[in-house]
Structure 1
Amino acid sequence: MKSSNLDTPADPAEKSDRRAWAVMAMLLVFMLINYADKAVLGLAANPIMRELGLSHSEYGLLASSFFFLFNISAVAFGFLANRFPTKWLMFGMALVWGFTQLPVVAGAGFAALLVSRIVLGAAEGPAQPVAMHAAFKWFPNEKRSIPSSLISGGGGLGGVLAAPLLTLVIINFGWRWAFLSLFVVGVLWCAVWAVVGREGTADRAAAPTGAEPEPVENFRVPYHRILLSGTWLAGFVGAFGAYWTSALLLAWVPSYLETSLGYSAVAAGAIVTAPWVLKTVATFGQGALTQWLMHRGVSSRVSRGILGGCAVFLAGAAMLLAPFVTHPGLKIALITVAFSIGAVKFAIGQTINAEITPPAQRGAVLSMTVGLVTLAGLAAPYVTGRIVESAADPAAGFAMAFAIPGTLMLIGGLLAFAFVHPERDARRSPRTGATSAGRRTRARPVRDLSAPASGTSADR
């Protein structure tokens, strides 16, 4: 008699797929919490300034303090991620996120709030690159567009959910209660992640039947060859402008809507949700579109490079136009586009960077990219505060401040059209290894390193 399906062992590949998507779900929530932690300060900007008696430049310093150690931490953790399990690195980061909220709940003043934001920034700096590295361990290059968009889209989704919910908490219970809610959510995520989190095996070489899989050989290239490639440099400029924009969305846009455009706190909280919604839709849509295009045989240059360049170019144009439009509906529409679609560059850019980088160096390259790009977050809130404070009126100050990221994104889009060539730059970073006879051989481009290598160790 034939055995039933219940008696048939589960297919290992199917189990691995289920585990991969369970991990991806947790990474998505991880990034959602990450962005909610960032956004809460901007949502509570006006009550914080009133209660603590802060000027615009002092609040700008408080917002920028989040990035004091952000970049250094991002780079340092990237090298750690090359050597240690991402599961426990992420667990430690999220636990620190939660506990940095407690001094604020306990009635902290400006100094304690400043220190807590610095520590939070140090713990959040590595979040995106380490989460990307963790996801890429489960998926080969040709299947990474959707996972990377989910991780980047977690920020947009965090804004969609956090902006209205945290605004309601701030209005009804006070701004300190918003920080308490983030502490609870962060600790709960750690408890679930300790059970669900695992390391993927997509970077491992295929092994003969019955043998244990062997790690892919640690092929490496000089880091300067990656970081000085046209693909990386052009992507950096666009991502820098897009991150400057994201920092303004977190720190200043709610206040801008209230002080310069005259909206109430409730209305501003609702309006600021629109960029997060479009950012989420654009990021998730980009992942699906890019993966479909690559499946159809479209080059990475077109499906990733040109698409990302178009997104930041349009965002930059909208940013420059928005302050000069008088029609309220059109102004809000331009603000929504300006502060949203440029974020597509984060998912595309990191996927491209992984494409041109050997797996043994991927964690470090992704983290160095984030460390350099997020210097924009260190500068943007404080520079904007100084510009607004020195302007004749806040509206004029914000118009000048918005011109900075708008121009950067326009330039970044043009550079992407001209210089982003992932396949070309992957070929310029070849991997070399020794055959069993001791001869040096040049293997296929680095971008194929993400897929399992064929053959036995003797063949290699």
Structure 2
Amino acid sequence: MAVYIAESLPEAPTAAPTAPRTYAWIVFALTFGLLLSDYMSRQVLNAVFPVLKAEWALTDTQLGSLSSIVALLVGLLTFPLSVVADRWGRVRSVTLMAALWSLATLGCAIAANYNQMFAARFFVGVGEAAYGSVGIALILSIFPAHLRATLSSAFMAGGPVGSVIGMAFGGVIAAQFGWRWAFGAMAAFGLALVVLYALIVRERRLRAPDGTMPVAQAARPGLRTIFSGLFSSVSVIAAYVGSGLQLFIMAAMLAWLPSFLNRYYALPTDKAGVGAAIFILVGAVGMVVCGIVTDRLSRPAPERKWTIAITYSLTSAALLLVAFRMPPGTAQLVLIGAGMAMVAGTTGPAGAMVANLTHPSIHATAFATLTLANNLLGLAPGPFVTGLLADRIELMGAMQLVPLAALGAVAAFAVGKRHYADDLKRIRTLQR
């Protein structure tokens, strides 16, 4: 088993892609497009928080629950559904999942009350549960290994970019035509992409030039092998935990920035959505830039990824802590933007370390485990806990506490860095 894991540990020289390069980028574009749809469907809700609060007389806790239920379902179901996808076929799984979340988003458009909206959001979560992990595993299987941090951060940047589109266009559509049309537009976009994906992406076309299947598709590991590989070292567990805790902050920002701008800057729904979208876009660009920087700085010394992740966490926390303790104004907005540029910078380093510390044949399940940690530790509790705090100490007070979650992320990454060399030495010793 130690040999099995060690095969993927070194950040080896670039390997040839396992699919024709042009087709690989087409697959990336379509898979990225569906990730946009995923987050557009998930985050359009945040743009209409003020409208739903007024129309249905909802509390901030109820609003937070409508956002958190999706992340909670993603956290609970991502692992089992990713195991199924690794064995049943990633392309078929992606197509089915995207169709489900798009139809569920259409259900949100016709919801008549809080309970019906909650049920529709439940099924949005079921559909989106394993998409992130299966999608990134599919992408990594057809690109060189030395691009892992860049590809991981670029792909996962689809989350905040989709959130930007969902909140910005959702807010504008809601202001012009009503909040139901905002959900309907997101559903239509998702269903159109599902059709394109089903027509263009084929499992059989993800073959190497010599006709062989990529490792991730050719190998069908047993459950015992999968579980052993997922938790093979302290370092990989630290990567899971650190990533999840850091994304608590990002999740809170995604959910509550439109309401923050609405309440403290007196912006109407459409302008608040667009304003929040700009901040999330800054976060998306920051994710990609941070991933590229991570790959460049850590190429001669892979262990630097831990130090870089710690730096991103501490810097973003410091900026946001200062920002939310300032009075509303230009200076506050500038510092929020600076913090957002780095708050999800740990996505690339964490994704790269998970890929390096697990075998390609279980990458979908490994990223499912990472997604599980991201959702249960960050994306699910972030909006709900912030809403819970806001009902008691106002939204500004809640936002002042949110960045403290980065301290937990820093501790986890520090543990990973401390054990990384020993984990490598232990595995290499067993390999002899």
Q: TM-score, structure 1 length as denominator? A: 0.80
Q: 2:51 pairs with 44, 47, 58, which one? A: 47
Aligned to 2:423: 425
Q: 2:131 pairs with 127, 132, 138, which one? A: 127
Q: 2:384 pairs with 374, 382, 385, which one? A: 382
1:30-179 paired onto structure 2 within 5 Å: 30-179=34-183
**Structure 1 range deviating more: 46-55 or 259-268:** 259-268
1:115-147 Cα offsets, whole Å, 9 max, x none, are 010110121121211111111110242132332
Question: Quick one: distance in 2 between partners of 1:212 and 1:45?
Answer: 46
Aligned to 2:364: 363
Question: Quick one: distance in 2 between partners of 1:119 and 1:217?
Answer: 29
1:176-224 Cα offsets, whole Å, 9 max, x none, are 10100011101110111012224489998x98xx999984696986746
Question: Quick one: distance in 2 between partners of 1:57 and 1:80?
Answer: 34
Which amino acid letter does the alignment assign opposite residue 399 of structure 1? G
* 1:264 to 2:268 alignment: yes
**Structure 1 range deviating more: 193-202 or 98-107:** 193-202
Which amino acid letter does the alignment assign opposite residue 172 of structure 2? L
**Structure 1 range deviating more: 249-258 or 182-191:** 249-258
Provide structure 1 residue ranges, at least 5 long, that are not aligned to the other structure. Answer: 1-11, 433-441, 444-460
Q: Is the 8 A contact 2:47 2:273 kept in 1?
A: yes
Question: Quick one: distance in 1 between partners of 2:128 and 2:255?
Answer: 16
Which amino acid letter does the alignment assign opposite residue 409 of structure 1? A
Question: Quick one: distance in 2 between partners of 1:33 and 1:103?
Answer: 15
Structure number having the greater helix percentage: 2
Aligned to 1:180: 184
Q: 1:237 to 1:13 in 2, by over 3 A?
A: closer
Identical columns (%): 20
Which amino acid letter does the alignment assign opposite residue 329 of structure 2? P
Aligned to 2:320: 319
- SS of equivalent to 1:69: helix
| Offset, 1:29 | 0.8
Q: 1:163 to 1:292 in 2, by over 3 A?
A: same
Q: TM-score, structure 2 length as denominator? A: 0.85
Q: Is the 8 A contact 2:321 2:400 kept in 1?
A: yes
1:360-390 Cα offsets, whole Å, 9 max, x none, are 3222221022112201332222222221112
* 1:399 to 2:400 alignment: no
Q: Is the 8 A contact 1:230 1:425 kept in 2?
A: yes
Aligned to 2:311: 310
| Offset, 1:94 | 0.5
Aligned to 2:410: 413
**Structure 1 range deviating more: 405-414 or 215-224:** 215-224
Question: Quick one: distance in 1 between partners of 2:283 and 2:183?
Answer: 24
Question: Quick one: distance in 1 between partners of 2:130 and 2:232?
Answer: 22
Question: Quick one: distance in 2 between partners of 1:381 and 1:327?
Answer: 21
Which amino acid letter does the alignment assign opposite residue 388 of structure 2? R
The structure with higher relative contact order (CA 8 Å, sep 6+) is 2
| Offset, 1:401 | 4.8
Which amino acid letter does the alignment assign opposite residue 253 of structure 1? L
Question: Quick one: distance in 2 between partners of 1:97 and 1:317?
Answer: 36
Aligned to 2:303: 301
Q: 2:255 pairs with 251, 254, 259, which one? A: 251
Q: 1:145 to 1:196 in 2, by over 3 A?
A: farther
Aligned to 1:336: 337
Kindly report structure 1 stretches of 4+ aligned residues shifted beyond 6 Å.
12-15, 200-204, 210-214
**Structure 1 range deviating more: 97-106 or 120-129:** 97-106
Q: Is the 8 A contact 1:139 1:202 kept in 2?
A: no
| Offset, 1:62 | 2.1
